[in-house]
Amino acid sequence: MVEPLLRAENLTKRFGGLVAVKDVSFTIAEGDLFAVVGPNGAGKTTLFNLINGVLLPDEGRIFFNGKDITRLPVYRRAPLGIGRTFQIPRPFGVASVRENVAIGALFGRAAEKVSVVEALAIADEYIDRVGLQAHGDKPSIALTPVERKLMEIARALAMKPRLLLLDEAMAGMNPKDIDELVNFLKRIKDEGVAIIALVEHIMRAVAGLAERVMVMHQGSVLTDTTTEAALTHPKVVEVYLGKAPG
């Protein structure tokens, strides 16, 4: 059997009495496009924080490329090839967009081999690809919220990740922007990058983007199946819309 890129086994995370993530298991293969869907408070972001080490799980284990990374420090996961964006973008303040993206290249998977000059060139490449070429010299805090999201995607891609974690990347975007981003992410996937996208309620994005969807509710996995099957799953409909009367 080929070892999957990411394997989560029985992950559980508690905050006091609250179980934010309850016994969650799943696997991701190289080049997968995987959406994690669920209403606010379902435990999606906590799950991301477990995968990239911002939080440590109380139970369960995480394997990346066959290696146990359950307790690996956060900063050592980026060089393995785990890139991430944040739900509320976290640009590096007064540094320009170009410098922000270059930081991704400098400390990501190719960190050892990339010089500062090369990192700035890589930054230009990805700034171009996400369509921010007009803003490269702006301080990152001068960007609009949507531009910040795109900058974070460029920064994460400059890390040359094997797995890209996108936290609500499409929130706040208009349908046209969403379609553009979906197409862009599909191209990224074709280049061999596995993507996990957290989505609260933009079904347009989920339906267009992911082949596989995992629906979470109150910390647990409701279903992990194909996108089509997930969106018509009676329990999923119930979580989002409530029980049908009668």
Binding flag, residue 107, another protein (CB under 8 A) = yes
Binding flag, residue 90, another protein (CB under 8 A) = yes
- Select the residue interacting with another protein from 155, 189, 212, 217 (CB under 8 A): 155
User: By CB under 8 A, which span of 36-44, 58-66, 106-114, 206-214 interacts with another protein?
Assistant: 106-114
* 33-37 and 59-64 beta bridge pairing: unpaired
User: By CB under 8 A, which span of 32-40, 72-80, 193-201, 238-246 interacts with another protein?
Assistant: 72-80
- Select the residue interacting with another protein from 26, 64, 86, 126 (CB under 8 A): 86
Binding flag, residue 95, another protein (CB under 8 A) = yes
Binding flag, residue 91, another protein (CB under 8 A) = yes
- Select the residue interacting with another protein from 60, 79, 131, 172 (CB under 8 A): 79
Task: Decide whether 19 or 110 has the Cβ nearer to another protein.
Answer: 110
- Select the residue interacting with another protein from 137, 191, 192, 244 (CB under 8 A): 137
- Select the residue interacting with another protein from 11, 159, 171, 173 (CB under 8 A): 159
Q: Contact 196/5 with Cβ under 8 angstroms?
A: no
**Minimum gap (Å) between residue 72 Cβ and another protein:** 12
Task: Decide whether 17 or 93 has the Cβ nearer to another protein.
Answer: 93
The DSSP line for the chain is -PPPSEEEEEEEEEETTEEEEEEEEEEE-TT-EEEEE--TTSSHHHHHHHHTTSS--SEEEEEETTEE-TT--GGGTTTTTEEE--SS----TTSBHHHHHHHHHHHSTTGGG--HHHHHHHHHHHHHHTT-GGGTTSBGGGS-HHHHHHHHHHHHHHT--SEEEEESTTTT--HHHHHHHHHHHHHHHHTT-EEEEEESS-HHHHHHH-SEEEEEETTEEEEEEEHHHHHH-HHHHHHHH-PPP-
Binding flag, residue 71, another protein (CB under 8 A) = no
Q: In what order do the strands lie in the sheet with 59-64?
A: 18-28, 6-15, 59-64, 67-68
**Minimum gap (Å) between residue 70 Cβ and another protein:** 17
Binding flag, residue 72, another protein (CB under 8 A) = no
**Minimum gap (Å) between residue 40 Cβ and another protein:** 22
Residues in contact with another protein by CB under 8 A are 52, 54, 73-79, 84, 86, 90-99, 102-104, 106-108, 111, 116-117, 119-120, 136-137, 155, 159
